A and B are shown apart, each in its own frame.
Chain A
Amino acid sequence: MDAIQKSKIELIKAPPGIEGAGFFATSLDKAVGIARSNSLWPLPFATSCCGIEFMATMASTYDLARFGSERLSFSPRQADLLMVMGTIAKKLAPVLLQVYEQMAEPRWVLSMGACASSGGIFDTYSVLQGIDRILPVDVYIPGCPPRPEQVLDGIMQIQKLAQSETIRRRSSPEYSELLNKYGIE
Chain B
Amino acid sequence: MDNNSLLTIIQDKLTSQFGSDFLSAELVAEYPTFIVKKDSIANVIKFLYDDKELAFQYLTTLAAIHYPDNQGQEFAVMYQLHNLPKNLRIRVKIFFSVNDLAVPSITSIFSGANWMERQEYDFFGIQFIGHPNLKRILNMDDMDYHPMRKEYALEDGTRKDKDDKMFGR
A residues with a Cβ closer than 8 A to B are 90-91, 119, 123-127, 129
Closest 7 CB pairs of A and B: A91-B140, A125-B147, A123-B155, A90-B140, A129-B156, A129-B159, A124-B154
> B158 on the interface (CB 8 Å rule)?
yes
A78 vs B131: C-alpha distance when bound (angstroms) = 44
Question: 13 A-B residue contacts at CB 8 Å?
Answer: A90-B140, A91-B138, A91-B139, A119-B156, A123-B154, A123-B159, A124-B154, A125-B143, A125-B152, A125-B155, A126-B139, A126-B147, A129-B159
Residue pair B139, A123 in contact (C-beta under 8 Å): no
A90 vs B144: C-alpha distance when bound (angstroms) = 13
A176 vs B155: C-alpha distance when bound (angstroms) = 33
Residue pair A125, B140 in contact (C-beta under 8 Å): no
A126 vs B143: C-alpha distance when bound (angstroms) = 10
Given A91-B139, A123-B155, A126-B139, 8 more A-B residue pairs with CB atoms under 8 Å apart are A123-B154, A124-B154, A125-B152, A125-B155, A125-B156, A125-B157, A127-B156, A129-B159
A146 vs B147: C-alpha distance when bound (angstroms) = 31
Instruction: Collect the chain A residues with CB atoms within 8 Å of residue B147's CB.
Output: 125-126
Chain B's interface size range is 10 to 19
Closest chain-B Cβ to A94's Cβ sits at a distance in Å of 8
A124 vs B157: C-alpha distance when bound (angstroms) = 8
> B162 on the interface (CB 8 Å rule)?
yes
Specify the chain B residue showing the minimal Cβ separation from A91.
B140
Specify the chain B residue showing the minimal Cβ separation from A128.
B156
Instruction: Tell me the interface secondary structure of chain A in the complex.
Output: loop
Residue pair B156, A123 in contact (C-beta under 8 Å): yes
Encode B77-101 as 1/0 by CB contact (under 8 A) with A: 0000000000000000000000000
A39 vs B158: C-alpha distance when bound (angstroms) = 38
Instruction: Collect the chain A residues with CB atoms within 8 Å of residue B138's CB.
Output: 91, 126
Closest chain-A Cβ to B119's Cβ sits at a distance in Å of 13
Among A91, A119, A125, A126, max chain B CB count under 10 A is at A125
Encode B132-169 as 1/0 by CB contact (under 8 A) with A: 00000011100100010000101111110010000000
Closest chain-A Cβ to B129's Cβ sits at a distance in Å of 27
Closest chain-B Cβ to A8's Cβ sits at a distance in Å of 46
A90 vs B155: C-alpha distance when bound (angstroms) = 13
Instruction: Collect the chain B residues with CB atoms within 8 Å of residue A129's CB.
Output: 156, 158-159
Closest chain-A Cβ to B64's Cβ sits at a distance in Å of 17
Residue pair A125, B154 in contact (C-beta under 8 Å): yes
A90 vs B147: C-alpha distance when bound (angstroms) = 13
Specify the chain A residue showing the minimal Cβ separation from B153.
A125
A90 vs B158: C-alpha distance when bound (angstroms) = 12
Instruction: Collect the chain B residues with CB atoms within 8 Å of residue A126's CB.
Output: 138-139, 147
Encode B97-113 as 1/0 by CB contact (under 8 A) with A: 00000000000000000
List B residues 31-47 near A (Cβ within 8 Å): none
Encode B4-39 as 1/0 by CB contact (under 8 A) with A: 000000000000000000000000000000000000
Instruction: Collect the chain A residues with CB atoms within 8 Å of residue B158's CB.
Output: 129
A129 vs B138: C-alpha distance when bound (angstroms) = 18
Residue pair B140, A124 in contact (C-beta under 8 Å): no
Instruction: Collect the chain B residues with CB atoms within 8 Å of residue A91's CB.
Output: 138-140
Closest chain-A Cβ to B54's Cβ sits at a distance in Å of 39
